Amino acid sequence: MLLIRPLVDRDLDALYAMAEQAGKGLTSLPADRGLLQQKIDLAGNSFNQRCAPEAALYLFALEDTATGQAVGISGIQARVGRDEVFYNYRLSVTVNASRELGVHVRTPTLQLSNDMTDVSEICSLLLADTYKGGGNGLLLSRCRFLFLDDFREQFSEKIFAEMRGVSDTEGNNPLWDALGSKFFDMAFSEADRLSGMGNKSFIAELMPKYPIYLSMLPSSARSVIGCVHANTAPALNMLQAEGFNFNGLVDIFDGGPVVETFIDNIRTVRETVGRTVTITDTPVAADVPVTERVIVANRSMQHFRATTLPLTCVNADTIELPQDVAAALQVQAGDTVRLAPLKDSGPLPRQSFKAPQ
């Protein structure tokens, strides 16, 4: 069984291995044991509500229960820009027009922005190569929306995600080459790494503060602004299907887009339903296709668990859980669980979920 649960200390090795495998693309999880351990500690404090809600970082592990190993990770940062300053460029337009001369020129313009400050971010999605496919990525990503919905008071109404920008096989990014490199005396990967380590004062110190008129940059740089790395395209598609949209902000280094939505508009949140648990002895069919599976999550913060089950387990008011699944989810007969389609437009009755207060 593949099970979502809070990330814990014993996941450090697996996490380090995944971070190393991911390479330079994932700056929020650098392959640095000390830093990763700090993140695990913070996640532990977050799920156990031992830190300020605004400082929380919820990290979810995808565990293969057969081995007890974490094979994937995903996260929610409760608020960004509180400890450090959170920077984006806003892709804006400057219009200059002279009626007298009949000239009307639109200049795309990058303006330094801190506008995501205090907003909740979904982040840090990693999945071991051998577990890719079969809806595991979907489970890792979507389980967060059920969590967000159940614990809304911990998060902002708006949720965003930063998408990795374009780079070539050597890790070069045309926007960095044309813009960042002129101001930062370092390689893109180094700037990205420093930023990922949470050291952002160098950005305040070195970053150009005045707007950048894109017509002055080469077309190679202009063309990647707001574009995602090929590896990230599936993640972007998934988020778009969930209702996330490009909000006009891009990464200051690589120009990758920020997508955002409001919790209420997230498809998984809109489509989630509740069911009462019943326990069954019938074993679960193993090879059910992704389109016929649903995500099932318990309603605990501290002991959050989620997995997937075939749609056939779902009845009008109840869901039948085999004993081992119920144990894994830490629920008993009579408890409520939340369900959501695993895949876009998956089969579930359109009925909104009202959490019992």
Active site residues: 229
Q: Which residues contribute to the site for its own copies (CB under 8 A)? A: 81-86, 90, 92-100, 104, 106, 111, 113-115, 117, 201, 204, 248
β-pairing verdict for 245-250 and 88-98: antiparallel
Q: Work out how close the CB of 166 gets to another protein at its nearest, in angstroms, rounded to a whole number.
A: 20
Residue 83 touches which member of its own copies, another protein, none, C-beta under 5-8 Å by kind = its own copies
Least Å distance between CB 205 and another protein?
4
- List Cβ neighbours of 85 (8 Å cut-off, separation of 6 or more): 114, 117, 200, 203, 204
Indicate the DSSP class of residue 24: G
User: Considering the rule CB under 8 A, would residue 323 count as an interface residue with another protein?
Assistant: no
Least distance (Å) between residue 201 CB and another protein = 6
What does the block give as tokens for 53? Answer: 């809600």
Report in angstroms how near the CB of residue 102 gets to another protein at its nearest.
Answer: 10
Q: Per CB under 8 A, does 287 bind another protein?
A: no
Instruction: Candidates 124-132, 141-149, 210-218, 224-232: pick the segment binding another protein (CB under 8 A).
Output: 210-218
Q: Identify the burial level of 68 via C-beta atoms within 10 angstroms of its C-beta, where 0-12 means exposed, 13-18 middle and 19 or more buried.
A: exposed
Shorter beta-carbon distance to another protein: residue 184 or 304: 184
Coil, strand or helix at 97 = strand
* Residue 54 binds which of its own copies, another protein, none (CB < 5-8 A, kind-dependent): none
Identified binder of another protein from the candidate list 2, 73, 212, 249, rule CB under 8 A? 212
User: Rule CB under 8 A: which of 69-88 touch another protein?
Assistant: 85
- If binding is defined by CB under 8 A, does position 216 make contact with another protein? yes
* C-alpha separations of 169 from 149, 186, 304 in Å: 38, 18, 38
Looking at beta carbons only, is 103 or 286 nearer to another protein?
Answer: 103
Instruction: Report the residue number, 133 or 349, with the smaller CB distance to its own copies.
Output: 349
Distances (CA, A) of 67 to 1, 13, 63, 70: 10, 14, 8, 9
For residue 335, the SS3 value is coil
Q: Which of 9, 129, 153, 205 binds another protein (CB under 8 A)?
A: 205
- How many Cβ atoms sit within 10 Å of the Cβ of residue 153? 5
Spatial separation of the C-alpha atoms in residues 353 and 235, rounded to whole Å: 26
Q: What gap in Å lies between CA 72 and CA 42, rounded to an integer?
A: 18
Amino acid at 190: E
Among 48, 68, 182, 324, binds another protein (CB under 8 A): 182
CA dist., res. 303 & res. 164, Å (int)? 31
Strand locations in 85-175, DSSP E? 88-98, 103-113, 120-127, 158-162
Q: How far is the CB of 291 from its own copies (least distance, A)?
A: 23
Return residues touching another protein (CB under 8 A).
Answer: 85, 94, 96-98, 100-101, 103, 105, 107, 112, 178-179, 182-186, 194, 199, 201-202, 204-213, 215-217
